[in-house]
C-alpha cells in the first residue's frame, strides 16, 4: 500500500539530489574563475558564489541526498527480494560511487569556502560529468534490470563519456575564441 508513495518520494529526492550535484560543480567553476579576476571583482564574486553554493549545498543537495537514501532504504525494506537480484547489487555499487562523488564535492565545497582553490576550471568541467555518467548507468539499469546487455551498456557509457569530453573540448575552443560565450 505504501510502496507507490515511498517510490514517488524516493524519485523526487533523486531528482533534487541530482539537480544539486549537477549545479554545484558549475558554481565551483564560476568560483575558480572568479579568482582570476582583478580586485574588487574577485572578492565580490567570490563572496556571492560562496553564499549561493552554501545555500544550494545545505538547503537542497544534502537534504535531498539524505531523504533519497531514507526512502531507498524504506523501499528495500518493503521489497527485500530486490537484494537478491544482480541488477540491484550493481545499482547499489553506482549509488556508492555517487555518495563518494557527493563527499568529494563536499570537500571541494569546504575548500572553496576557505578560499582554497586547488582545482582548475577545466578539471571541474570534467568533474561535472561524473554525476551524468552515474545517472545514465543507474536509469538504464533500473529500467532494463536483467534484460540489460552489459556489453552494450558498458560501451554506451564509454561512448557517452567520450562525447561529453569532446563537448567540453569544443566548448573550450568556442570560449577561447569568444570569451563572452
- Other beta carbons less than 10 A from residue 79's beta carbon: 14
What is the rounded distance in angstroms from the CA atom of residue 41 to the CA atom of residue 88?
49
Residue 91, annotated as binding a ligand: yes
Q: Does residue 128 contact residue 26 with C-beta atoms inside 8 Å? A: yes
The owner of cell 586547488 is 118
Cell, residue 91 = 545499482
HSE value, Cβ hemisphere, 13 Å, CA-based, for 64: 19
Q: Report yes or no: 54 and 164 within 8 Å, Cβ to Cβ.
A: no
Is 10 annotated to bind ligand? Answer: yes
- Annotated binding-site ranges: 10, 91
- Annotated binding-site ranges for heme: 10, 91
Amino acid at each position: 500500500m505504501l510502496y507507490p508513495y515511498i517510490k514517488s518520494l524516493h524519485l523526487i529526492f533523486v531528482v533534487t539530489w541530482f539537480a544539486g550535484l549537477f549545479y554545484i560543480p558549475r558554481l565551483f567553476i564560476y568560483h575558480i574563475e572568479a579568482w582570476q579576476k582583478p580586485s574588487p571583482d574577485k572578492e565580490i564574486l567570490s563572496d556571492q558564489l560562496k553564499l549561493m553554493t552554501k545555500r544550494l549545498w545545505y538547503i537542497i543537495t544534502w537534504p535531498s541526498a539524505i531523504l533519497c537514501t531514507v526512502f531507498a532504504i524504506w523501499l528495500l525494506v518493503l521489497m527485500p527480494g530486490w537484494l537478491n537480484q544482480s541488477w540491484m547489487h550493481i545499482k547499489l555499487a553506482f549509488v556508492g560511487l555517487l555518495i563518494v562523488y557527493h563527499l568529494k564535492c563536499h570537500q571541494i565545497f569546504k575548500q572553496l569556502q576557505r578560499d582554497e582553490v586547488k582545482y582548475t576550471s577545466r578539471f571541474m568541467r570534467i568533474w561535472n560529468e561524473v554525476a551524468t555518467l552515474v545517472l545514465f548507468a543507474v536509469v538504464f539499469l533500473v529500467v532494463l534490470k536483467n534484460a540489460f546487455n552489459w556489453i552494450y551498456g558498458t560501451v554506451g557509457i564509454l561512448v557517452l563519456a567520450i562525447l561529453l569530453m569532446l563537448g567540453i573540448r569544443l566548448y573550450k575552443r568556442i570560449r577561447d575564441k569568444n570569451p563572452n560565450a
